[in-house]
Amino acid sequence: MSLNAESTAFRSALEVIRAVEPRVADAIGAELADQRESLKLIASENYASPATLLAMGNWFSDKYAEGTVGRRFYAGCQNVDTVEALAAEHAKELFGAAHAYVQPHSGIDANLVAFWAILADRVESPALKKAQVRQVNDLTEADWFALRRELGNQRMLGMSLDAGGHLTHGFRPNISGKMFDQRSYGTDPATGLIDYDRVAEAAREFKPLILVAGYSAYPRKVNFRIMREIADSVGATFMVDMAHFAGLVAGKVFTGDFDPVPHAHIVTTTTHKSLRGPRGGMVLCGPELADQVDRGCPMVLGGPLPHVMAAKAVALAEARRPDFADYAQRIVDNAQALAEGLVRRGTKLVTGGTDNHLVLLDVSGYGLTGRQAEQALLDSGIVTNRNAVPQDPNGAWYTSGIRIGTPALTTRGLGVAEMDATAELIHTVLTQTTPGESKAKYVLDPALADKISKQATELLTGFPLYPAVNLA
């Protein structure tokens, strides 16, 4: 039997790996098997294409390439220049951005690049001006003291963690919470929705240098036109972290007031999640911040990862195809069908539903913590993650919520009918799970967990993962 190109490529790769460390090859094969058999509902995960995956495993991994296209600190980077320029070109065309920086290794790195670019652009001091022109050796101790004081005393206003924001938006244990004098805006306690009047009031009172919008667990659209107006009213730089919903922007599901790129001064994102690329980050901005953004390495980043930039170029090229817009719309259709199926079965959802790719369950109605629910679902072949809900009494570790999302299952081809079946499986597990003696312990009949796991696998039978890849 002749093998297709994908099967040949992955089989050959595993044979080469197995010759050196068979346990790694076995783990890679086991991961594919696990993903094929389980309902992946983690909102921040997806399945990259074989082309994207293969673009990461090549000789670009061996190359140092500090600097930017045409301005490297190492010789021999002409091929790296090609793939980085291609990735940036695709990103600009896809999102309608003036400038794209594709070097960040992650979303957190992208946010750090954005923060420091804004600081360097906005904060005026002799010490900073010297640093900007790379005259670091000329900085005196007094200059460094002034620089640290000015850069470390700026203000950021971002969405609170329990309302759906991300830890990089000023959460204290994160470096963003240590860099900035930070304050959070939440959501309306009654609806769970952003109250723009309250955000405006907080901005007028706090007068932040940076207003951050974006989320990791907010199941609704954000009006970026209004947020930009709020930022402009207090002279703040408006930054949007669209890591979770970048695919919905790329696929033109979010347009007009709900597309952040025309409204924000600077936009950050990951390249995986709903964008369906490799794990990595990216920054989009206008020409006024481009020079500062391009200093991400060595400002806060180490050497670029050329093999990942190659994969970003491939994934972004895929996202520019017409079928990606259909995919993005199906993500939202599936999320709304999943939400409706849960609500019909009596599940409490934060905001009562969704406008995007994710659904946030409040599992306290089942008498469970998020941690108990997460593990019980995992035992049953349903992969989710626990997440705080607004004003969560269980905090960020145990939580009262479960966050689920549809990008990965949509990639596999599941539709609204399968979302209703998924809602039934989730509801069955949660109703049959009882709390144990701690916030982490729970009781679930193993026979039921096994039954649900088999039903989950059966649900996936008609939607094979990587059907062109045969490792047997």
126: its two tokens? 């002799």
For residues 124 and 18, what is the distance between their CA atoms, to the nearest angstrom? Answer: 56
277: its two tokens? 């690329």
Q: Distance from CA of residue 353 to its chain's centroid?
A: 20
To the nearest 10 degrees (0 to 180), the angle between helices 196-206 and 224-233 is: 20
CA distances from 459 to 140, 414, 417, 455 (A): 66, 9, 11, 6
Annotate 342-364 with DSSP letters as a single string: HHHTT-EEGGGS-SSSEEEEEGG
Instruction: Say if CB 213 and CB 240 are below 8 A apart.
Output: yes
For residues 421 and 149, what is the distance between their CA atoms, to the nearest angstrom? Answer: 56
Tell me the three state secondary structure of residue 380. coil
Instruction: Say if CB 56 and CB 71 are below 8 A apart.
Output: no
Residue type for 405, please?
G
| Catalytic, out of 36, 63, 92, 279 | 279
Task: Based on the residue annotation, tell me whether 279 is a catalytic residue of this protein.
Answer: yes
How would you class 28 by CB atoms within 10 Å of its CB: exposed for 0-12, middle for 13-18, buried for 19 or more?
middle
| Catalytic, out of 11, 18, 37, 66 | 66
| Catalytic, out of 121, 143, 241, 379 | 241
Task: Based on the residue annotation, tell me whether 8 is a catalytic residue of this protein.
Answer: no
What's the maximum distance between 2 C-alpha atoms anywhere in the chain? Answer: 73
For residues 70 and 317, what is the distance between their CA atoms, to the nearest angstrom? Answer: 22
**Neighbour tally for 54: CB within 10 Å:** 18
Tell me the three state secondary structure of residue 383. strand
CA distances from 37 to 1, 40, 96, 141 (A): 25, 9, 38, 59
Nearest to 354 by CA among 372, 364, 339: 339
| Catalytic, out of 168, 270, 271, 354 | 270
Helices and strands (H and E) in the chain: how many: 20, 17
| Catalytic, out of 36, 45, 63, 64 | 64
Q: Which helix (H) or strand (E) holds 15?
A: helix 5-20
| Catalytic, out of 72, 220, 228, 273 | 273
Nearest to 422 by CA among 351, 363, 466, 359: 359
Length of the chain: 472
Which sequence positions are flagged as catalytic?
64, 66, 241, 270, 273, 279
